[in-house]
Structure 1
């Protein structure tokens, strides 16, 4: 299995879909999952960590601007979990952003188009981009430097691990746009939206804080409803009625979805704060429906 070019994957929030998540091949070397996943063996991961070389342009961006934009003190060196004793607090935000403005955290910033566009449009807000893949981090750095942004920071870290060490109320909004769908049934447990993360996101959000989610995969939309709608610590702010199958399908039997029993669910109009990336446009061109969710902390 050839190593995929992560730089060309847009909108992929947590990783790439693997036929075999136990091993990857890159640059002629076979790497075990334990080698490429610093968190391997500790929990089910929503991504497969791969080593990737930066091209000259991205390497220059990191050399020239990483110190300004990348939060190097969050994660253990060479790992994707928080450094021992680290706590993400309001004081940390003020120290590293220079203000206590409302903070939006994007889980899986991909190439950075969305979070950079938002930071440009809203200089009165702070933004944090979380991305596990170095090419995505580098491309976000490149775009941030191009716009001379002062209100954006980037962390290469596993999002659930970071949310677990966040101070209550430190975040105003959380965005998870087009996460890896993990379409095979046996991989559904790897989807990033899980009850454990939902509990930590809720604690990190301030009063009235919002978790915005979007997917172009119908089965993932059902998964989000199953995880989120029954929670008493979030309310579904959707105003659109959407019909979805009431049973899950996987990569091999997705064609059966239309024949399954359906039920109505509440979703949201498209979030106008999300730019239309090439990734989302390709989904629309392929005839897929975009599902938007707005869950507000209660």
Structure 2
């Protein structure tokens, strides 16, 4: 294997914190905190309501907060070395997280990108890329696409792919729902969404990535018999997934475990009341063996949180 860069210059940091939460950036000279960004959306919603329009009229409700994040030297070297090989050029323009107009994510596009017709697995919110890179290394018979909008996460995924000289993985720095709208029917084998941003405040639940509209687009993109795998360590997000997915058209919950959950939502600040709420039984899945145990998941387990796994198969 020929190396593009000196391996000692791009040493893998085994202690880097990982998360599949989806985050994004503004241009480097525009740093915006998550609280400020969310407050701006809420102000826009108030203005729209006062004008007689729906909340967030004319604005997308995003599952991530746009903020700047500069790359350290190690990750910048990884970006410079591997972006041309692994990062898809499908954005609407510089700084945009939308997919460019007219993109058709179909079998022909996949064949031209990966050079074969192997089944494709897409991970929404790949975080630092440990899971998708490990899966790509373990399964050369499959293709993988990592969707991540946070610069350091993209760069770290590039680093992992490049250091292992993986041929079956690509990365797209786009808003995931926009990519699924560009997908042709039946082009994906599986979709993975592991530990998405929980958006714990009740008023922010609309920002959670698992939503009915995305479920419809994922269903259309999946091959018949394909699956959407979801995992969360937040109990209220587990209830949210059940509400969106258990009765979603074209999906079947194939979980075999019985899990008891509150049947009413709680948010940040009153989550401690969940145990006193009425509960009901739901079906969930065993832990997906194809998901590596990342630092993020380890921290959730160490904090005493229960991991909820879901498998929804297309029917």
1:230 CA drift (Å): 1.2
Q: What is the TM-score of this pair, normalised by structure 1?
A: 0.90
1:173 match: 190
1:42 CA drift (Å): 2.8
User: Residues 103-252 of structure 1 correspond to what in structure 2 (within 5 A)?
Assistant: 103-252=120-269
Contact 1:245/1:263 (CA < 8 Å) preserved in 2? yes
1:91 match: 108
Q: Structure 2 regions of 5+ residues with no counterpart?
A: 1-14, 25-32, 45-56
2:286 match: 269
Between 1:40-49 and 1:267-276, the stretch displaced more is 40-49
> What is the CA–CA distance in structure 2 between the aligned matches of 1:163 and 1:216, rounded to whole Å?
25
Residues 263-285 of structure 1 deviation map (CA, whole Å, 9 limit, x = unaligned): 00000000000000000000001
Q: What is the TM-score of this pair, normalised by structure 2?
A: 0.85
Q: Structure 1 regions of 5+ residues with no counterpart?
A: 1-6, 25-31, 34-39
1:20 CA drift (Å): 4.2
Contact 1:104/1:171 (CA < 8 Å) preserved in 2? yes
> What is the CA–CA distance in structure 2 between the aligned matches of 1:74 and 1:172, rounded to whole Å?
23
> What is the CA–CA distance in structure 1 between the aligned matches of 2:90 and 2:279, rounded to whole Å?
47
Contact 1:113/1:277 (CA < 8 Å) preserved in 2? yes
1:21 match: 37
> What is the CA–CA distance in structure 2 between the aligned matches of 1:183 and 1:64, rounded to whole Å?
37
Contact 1:76/1:84 (CA < 8 Å) preserved in 2? no
1:161 CA drift (Å): 0.8
1:232 CA drift (Å): 3.1
Residue 58, structure 1, aligned to residue 58, structure 2: no
1:11 CA drift (Å): 1.9
> What is the CA–CA distance in structure 2 between the aligned matches of 1:106 and 1:252, rounded to whole Å?
31
Task: Number of aligned residue pairs: give it.
Answer: 280
> What is the CA–CA distance in structure 1 between the aligned matches of 2:290 and 2:20, rounded to whole Å?
18
Contact 1:74/1:86 (CA < 8 Å) preserved in 2? no
> Equivalent of 1:11, from 19, 37, 46?
19
2:276 match: 259
Name segments (4+ residues, structure 1) moved above 3 Å: 16-24
User: Residues 36-75 of structure 1 correspond to what in structure 2 (within 5 A)?
Assistant: 41-75=58-92
Residues 59-112 of structure 1 deviation map (CA, whole Å, 9 limit, x = unaligned): 111111100000013443220111111111111111011111000000000000
Contact 1:175/1:213 (CA < 8 Å) preserved in 2? yes
Contact 2:191/2:227 (CA < 8 Å) preserved in 1? yes
> What is the CA–CA distance in structure 2 between the aligned matches of 1:121 and 1:23, rounded to whole Å?
43
Residue 295, structure 1, aligned to residue 312, structure 2: yes
Between 1:272-281 and 1:71-80, the stretch displaced more is 71-80
> What is the CA–CA distance in structure 2 between the aligned matches of 1:181 and 1:144, rounded to whole Å?
28
Name the CA shift for 1:147/1:213 in 2 (closer, same or farther; >3 Å).
Answer: same
Residue 283, structure 1, aligned to residue 300, structure 2: yes
2:47 match: none
